[in-house]
Amino acid sequence: MTRLAVPKTYKLYIGGKFPRSESGRVYEIRSHGGGFLANAAQASRKDARDAVVAARSALGGWAGATAYNRGQVLYRIAELLEGRRVQFIDEIVQTEGVTPNAASAQVDEAIDRWVWYAGWADKYVQVAGNANPVSGPYFNISVPEPTGVVAIIAPQSGGSLLGLVSAVAPALVAGNTVVVVANETMPLSAVSLGEVLATSDVPGGVVNILTGSPAEMAPWLASHADVNAIDLVGAGDLDWVNLQIDAAETLTRVLQPENGPDAASPSLARIVAFTETKTIWHTKGLI
């Protein structure tokens, strides 16, 4: 018996919900061979603005959670990714045109990377923070704190899931909230990751996923006064010099584009890049 195909129209992931684009636009996701796969929402600048509002309101809770708790929540995402292996592999094979083995390897690496970053949540402060030497009867301590709302242009080439995870996970570790513009031509992994996040313990608004054109949204995110940092890792093909200039207008921290298969490779530096160092002094006991 033949069945009618059920073509899907995916939505955005903003504030823990799945809204359509405010603009009502969608665009077609094509398989590597050029066949129709599904429709994705084409986010507009207003969706980006709404995502920033959601990220800002989620910041207090996420940054205020204990580091141990954040680590557990992030680890739980890796567990859920593991449970959806088959779906991710299938989507990667379809959109990227790679072999199932290569897709499987990519999913493995993405999950491993997520676990690796989750482990850093209650450890990076010990490495990036410091007790400063002083010549007086008090302590002087520097601790990293989350920067705030981080906008990310996800890598637009290479593995669609691995690139996204490599960019999003390190920003979450320190307690930042994220607005990420997914891979434009291969957004299926991002959409599925949104579904994973929605059923995980990550509070709504901590990760917001926009599908659509980075060229359209990046300038609005870069110049947005309520975005504290922007990761241009996947913005290599855009006019990223001007994005940096726009970002500087409102003192937004910027990470530069990276190209090639090693883009956003795992490192402590990517975690620390989205932190601000707070230095405080404290009295010693009067003994």
- Within residues 19-58, the interface with another protein by CB under 8 A covers 49, 52, 56
Our CB check for another protein shows the closer of 127 and 225 to be: 225
From residue 275, give the alpha-carbon distance in Å to each of 173, 202, 213, 227.
10, 20, 28, 14
Residues 213-232 as x/- pattern, contact with another protein by CB under 8 A = -------x--xxxxx-----
176 near another protein, rule: CB under 8 A: no
Minimum separation from the CB atom of position 85 to another protein (A)? 39
Minimum separation from the CB atom of position 168 to another protein (A)? 22
- Within residues 77-136, the interface with another protein by CB under 8 A covers none
Q: Which residues contact 181 (CB under 8 A, 6 or more apart)?
A: 43, 48, 151, 152, 153, 154, 210, 211, 212, 214, 217, 218, 221, 234
Our CB check for another protein shows the closer of 189 and 223 to be: 223
Q: Which member of 47, 91, 246, 258 binds another protein (CB under 8 A)? A: 246
Our CB check for another protein shows the closer of 22 and 108 to be: 22
Minimum separation from the CB atom of position 179 to another protein (A)? 12
Our CB check for another protein shows the closer of 201 and 249 to be: 249
Minimum separation from the CB atom of position 187 to another protein (A)? 24
Tokens standing for residue 58: 């989620």
CB half-sphere exposure, 52, CA atoms < 13 A:
22
- Within residues 56-75, the interface with another protein by CB under 8 A covers 56
Our CB check for another protein shows the closer of 250 and 265 to be: 250
Q: Which member of 126, 142, 250, 279 binds another protein (CB under 8 A)? A: 250
Our CB check for another protein shows the closer of 224 and 270 to be: 224
Our CB check for another protein shows the closer of 131 and 248 to be: 248
Q: Rule CB under 8 A: which residues touch another protein? A: 49, 52, 56, 220, 223-227, 246, 249-250
